[in-house]
Amino acid sequence: MKGLSQFVEELAAMEVTQNVFNQYSYQLEENSIRRENLLIYLNQMYQLRPKVLLVGEAPGYRGCRLTGVPFTSEHLLMHNMDGLNLFGRENGYKLVSENTKLLKEATATIIWSTLIEHNLIALGWNAFPFHPHKKDNPASNRAPFKKELELGQKPLLQIIELFGIKKIIAVGNKAEENLNSLGISCDKVRHPAQGGK
């Protein structure tokens, strides 16, 4: 769908603040794989027509920063999970670098395990779509600042509109705060990394 391609291109063109990694930008050649992974995911989800949107806080350094796909890890992107046929090489997904040991990410594993257990399909997105990290340490995570969450509001609203989302679940406080500031009603669950498993 043309609107999804344009959406990914707009993400790639967004300027980010200091200590933030835009995993879709044209500044690194390897980001082309992340853009393509995201587009594959969004097109798959568009076909599945989920009515539920899970909004996380921001990409983590072991997850979406590497893959380009919210709530995933290298391992999940390449191997799926029992009961999930969304990901894998057979669906066109690729890794930026071929590693012998693929990284896992706890939040992604918990989220998809829960969805599978309850036979649900939900679209995953983040309140801030880029990876915020600590100063001089890209292999770290930090909570996005208020101005970063504000920067993430336009893509969040676009996702809601593009997919005709009916129900939104905030995964954690930052996601809930951002949705509330937009006047969007949501249910909130505790973030898995903060005891919400």
What sections of the chain are H helices per DSSP?
2-13, 31-48, 64-67, 74-79, 106-117, 146-151, 153-163, 173-181
**In Å, how far are 17, 72, 150 from 88, measured between CA atoms?**
32, 11, 33
Nearest to 184 by CA among 170, 172, 173: 170
* Res 197 pLDDT > 70: no
Query: Domain range spanning residue 159?
Result: 2-194
Query: How many domains are contained in the chain?
Result: 1
104-146 residue pLDDT tens: 998 999 999 999 999 999 999 999 999 999 999 999 999 999 9
CATH of the domain at 72: 3.40.470.10
1 pLDDT higher than 70: no
CA distance 98 to 110: 24
pLDDT tens column, 17-69: 899 999 999 999 999 999 999 999 999 999 999 999 999 999 999 999 999 99
Starting at the edge strand found earlier in the chain, the sheet holding 123-126 runs 123-126, 52-56, 167-171, 187-189
Phi, psi of 116 (to 5 degrees): -65, -45
pLDDT at 71 over 80: yes
pLDDT at 161 over 70: yes
On the question of pLDDT at 97 being above 90, the answer is no
